[in-house]
Amino acid sequence: MPTNRREFVQLSVLAAGAAGLAAAHTTKAAAEAAAKPLEILVLGGTGLIGPPMVEYALARGHKLTLFNRGKTNSHLFPEVERITGDRNDDISALEKAVADGRRWDVVIDNTASIPRWVSESAGLLAGAADLYLYTSSISAYADSSIPGADETAAVGRISAEDEAGVLTTKDITGENYGPLKARCEEETRKAFPDRAVVVRPGLIVGPGDYSDRFSYWPIRIFRGGEVMAPGNPDDPVQFIDCRDLGEWYIRLVENKAVGTYNGTGPRSPMSIAGMLHGIRAAVDNEISFTWVEADFLEKHEVQPWMEMTVWVPPVGEYAGFSASSIRRALDAGLTFRPLADTAKTTMDYWNSLPEERRAKPKAGLSAEKEKQVLAAWHARGEAAEESGS
């Protein structure tokens, strides 16, 4: 179990890095035409939230340009204009486009975790676009111990010296990830004062999630049998389907909804029990849940988040981690599809992956370890009964 916030965020960063390589599994977005078609430049656009966002934008009649390296899911959207480059060391093609007079109504930045990337791209595009949406992270907050914290909560800070040492994504750690995201936000607002949209997503789930953080639960529940469930059934969880997030981005920029938003869900507070039983409702097999206390899981070295995924014990510095306020996002039109849809589509995506990939999940508890911990938990209960008789 992570012993502090730094270790916990480190696990999140490692998983997020894998998610950035996600193979896309998308469905045709059903959408009405927007009142006014927009020219949208997407920095990224082919991993996780990108494909459903691009599909939805196209379905609403917008014209898109994608700027990326052309390495992740390069087969997607052959009809969409592409500018090829690398934000770490070569944005010359984008510079040329701007120099040649290219202009966009909106820039959507899905990829930056290094402030230099944002200062360069947002600085370049400040005179070539009207609005800039930056994808930050819930991890930008300095303190995760306060349930119900909103967008006014303090964000993490990083010294200029430490920031200068982050040259590529390989230099991002659990300790500096959140503060770097906060600095990226600053660079966005600096280049686009009064024209910036900042979204701080929580755990992003659904089809295309290469990290397997949420996927573990549909996979495990679809397998059936005795399922080990973590902690207290009332412990809170928060997550958002990549399709809900990506489609909301487009509505935000259509409405020029400048400001900062916590981009997570669901609409109403959800417990880990609510999530597991919601996924359970999408399957037809024999299942039972055995709830194992957090202290027992820690004793048996079962990690929250990376083994018992989505869940973190809501105590101490994590007391508010899965209880962020999303009131501003709801007021700005964030909507959510049913959990059963997310679970089923996640399984469809998982089953579409090659067998060798499915043999090595990126997160979740192994079947063998689950069996061992459950056996120890039951033995504990039996010993207690014998001592009391």
List the chain pLDDT tens, one digit each, 389 residues.
Answer: 454 555 445 445 544 443 333 444 444 446 799 999 999 999 998 889 999 999 999 999 999 999 999 888 888 899 999 999 999 999 999 999 999 999 999 999 998 999 999 999 999 999 999 999 999 999 999 999 999 999 999 999 999 999 999 999 999 998 999 999 999 999 999 999 999 999 999 999 999 998 999 999 999 999 999 999 999 999 999 999 999 999 999 999 999 999 999 999 999 999 999 999 999 998 888 999 999 999 999 999 999 999 999 999 999 999 999 999 999 999 999 999 999 999 999 999 999 999 999 999 999 999 999 999 999 999 986 666 666 55
Distance in angstroms between the alpha carbons of the first and the last residue of the chain: 34
Distance CA 144, CA 140 (A): 10
pLDDT of residue 16: 46
pTM exceeds cut of 0.75: yes
Q: Which helix (H) or strand (E) holds 271?
A: strand 270-271
Which tokens go with 337? 């599809």
What's the helix, strand, coil split of the chain in %, to 5?
A: 40, 15, 45
Cα–Cα nearest to 2, from 324, 368, 313: 313
Give the per-residue pLDDT at 381: 67
Residue boundaries of the structural domains of the chain: 5-208+238-269+318-339
Nearest partner of 191 among 124, 116, 259, judged by Cα = 124
pLDDT given for residue 2 in this prediction: 52
Distance CA 42, CA 19 (A): 18
339-352 and 216-223 helices, crossing angle to 10°: 90
Class in CATH terms, 5-208+238-269+318-339: alpha beta
